[in-house]
Chain A
Amino acid sequence: MSATTTHDEHHDDHGPDKGIMRWITTTNHKDIGTLYLFFALAMLFVGGAMSLVIRAELFQPGLQFVNPDFFNQMTTMHALIMVFGMIMPAFVGFANWMVPMMIGAPDMALPRLNNWSFWILPFAGTMLLSTLFMDGGGPASGWTLYPPLVLQTGDALPFAIFAVHLLGVSSIMGAINIIVTIMNMRAPGMTLMKMPLFVWTWLITAYLLIAVMPVLAGGVTMLLTDAFFGTSFFQAAGGGDPVLFQHIFWFFGHPEVYIIILPAFGIISQIIPTFSRKPLFGNDSMIYATASIAFLSFIVWAHHMFTVGMPLAGQLFFMLSTMLIAVPTGVKVFNWTSTMWKGSLSFETPMLFALAFLFLFTIGGFSGLMLAIVPADFQYHDSYFVVAHFHYVLVPGALFGAIAGAYFWMPKWTGHMYNETLGKVHFWLSAIFVNVLFFPQHFLGLAGMPRRIPDYATQFADFNAISTIGAFGFGFTQLLFVYIVIKCVRGGEKATAQVWDGAEGLEWTVPSPAPYHTFEDAPEVR
């Protein structure tokens, strides 16, 4: 772990502007990080409300609250908002706040671009949400936007496509900024291999973003020309191939899963050593495992589309390459476990969320292995088993990683300790309800319930009712998180600079709250 011999003493020379203009014109990485995090929190509740519409409708068989078309719009918008509006911006927020402090840089390398990256988001998000009120409603084809179904969307199609373009531009600009910052702004002595794991995972994630977000943009551009300019990239009637879109989408879509989960891996890799009071076991192997996962993510995309039909050699290749990802992922899980082995463990809220991540993400990983097996996938495909699988990866995986990170760094951001008792209540309610919500969906899928349907046969009723109870429990529990955050921002026990006695790294050498400007004089890292 790196150590510093000096740190900035001139950080309070000038502070932030006053009023709303501070937030609109800011180029400060901490302000922009805060904006990203609050935007993500708001979108968590927007996307979460949509999921509650879905779960309320599925509480019992028959149509209760919404018509099937609106139900499909909800499944589509829930996913788009959660992926592009919530979890990705949340991790960009963490990167903004923490990467410069962790590498000893005064700010991001391109601060104006940083401001622009953020302020594109609210407009893109609003445009996407506005499609729900347009003639014909919002897109209802699922977040995969598969043609020809998506081409039946009403007035909303060009707006949804433009919103996806804007979200992509924002992500690419953010990724460029992160890479440029890490490659050019590190403090003297902060070699690549000395960088904290969170910085490493974000560096690799940023490269993934630059490689695959343009692919999605290219795919949806072709959708646009198919819909409005008479091309036939994906329309069989004009000689096009709808399956081509699936290849393009999943060439983006699978690395996207790792774009979402790798920063969470980074956060967990900071938290577990801190609360085990031991250095991370196998630090270098964690870096190589992260890079391996990123590389493999480019060669597994067709496991999402085994059922479209492909040559046996293709099936075998994508099945085996997918299973190969279990190796570097296993390295990570074993390294986290080994870090805790004989450590002096304590179980504050960030550690509890990190442990839940470790157990529950692994469940999502195992069900992913089941889905990788071609003949089994033919049975599971488009069933609730798939829904259970990816929600275990994304909710107790990525979202718990983000929540763990928020509790871990909140004292550094606000200068106050959060309420530990409330934090633990939040953890236990979240951990219980998330399993009540998603675990029964495995059984529903194995019993044959398809995904993306508003009504179902009566034999699926019990597990759906349980899942819906879990959904409302989990949703309302997150209001407690908002209360804890607001309470912590407004006051509380004063946080020390180091905050956690096992914490190591440059970010813990500056006072809490972190001054508006840090490391204007670069620290020396030994």
Chain B
Amino acid sequence: MSTMANETERRQRIRRTAVVLGLVALAFYAGFIAMGVLNS
């Protein structure tokens, strides 16, 4: 039972980490375009 709980928790952690990293990438993309807009 605890192994399944651990596995569920690990899956949640994996999903959370992946989403956060994706958002970081998106922030760099949007941030640099925003910098270009402000600069022009």
Contact = CB atoms under 8 A, between A and B. Distances in A.
A219 B14 contact: no
B39 A180 contact: no
Contact of B25 (A109, A113, A214): A214
Contacts of B26: 214
B2 interface: no
Contact of A214 (B10, B13, B14, B28): B28
A121 interface: no
Contact of B28 (A109, A215, A232): A215
Contacts of A239: 40
Contacts of A444: none
Contacts of A222: 33, 36
Binding site secondary structure of chain A? helix
Contact of A110 (B18, B27, B30, B40): B18
Contacts, number: 70
A14 to B, nearest CB: 20
Contacts of A217: 29
B17 A184 contact: yes
Binding site secondary structure of chain B? helix
Given A233-B36, A241-B40, A218 B29 contact: yes
Given A215-B32, A232-B40, A241-B40, A183 B17 contact: yes
B33 to A, nearest CB: 5
A218 B14 contact: no
A435 interface: no
Contacts of B32: 214-215, 218-219, 248, 251
Contacts of B39: 233, 241, 244
A176 B22 contact: yes
A222 B33 CA distance: 7
Contact of B40 (A172, A214, A240, A251): A240
Nearest to A221: B33
Interface string B1-32: 00000000010011001100110111111111
Interface string A204-237: 0000001111110111011000000001110000
A176 B21 contact: yes
Nearest to A109: B14
A29 B10 CA distance: 19
B40 A231 contact: yes
B36 A248 contact: yes
B14 A211 contact: no
Contacts of B22: 172, 176
Given A219-B32, A233-B36, A239-B40, A184 B21 contact: no
Nearest to B19: A176
B18 A180 contact: yes
A179 interface: yes
Contacts of B29: 214-215, 217-218, 221
Nearest to B31: A218
Contacts of A177: 18
Contacts of B17: 179-180, 183-184
| A-B pairs with lowest CB-CB distance, top 8 | A214-B29, A218-B32, A214-B28, A176-B21, A218-B33, A214-B25, A109-B14, A233-B36
Interface of A: 109-110, 113, 172, 175-177, 179-180, 183-184, 210-215, 217-219, 221-222, 231-233, 239-241, 244, 248, 251
Given A172-B22, A179-B17, 9 more contacts: A176-B18, A210-B25, A214-B26, A214-B32, A215-B32, A218-B30, A218-B36, A219-B32, A244-B36
14 contacts: A176-B22, A176-B25, A180-B18, A180-B21, A184-B14, A210-B21, A213-B25, A214-B26, A218-B28, A219-B32, A221-B29, A222-B33, A248-B32, A248-B36
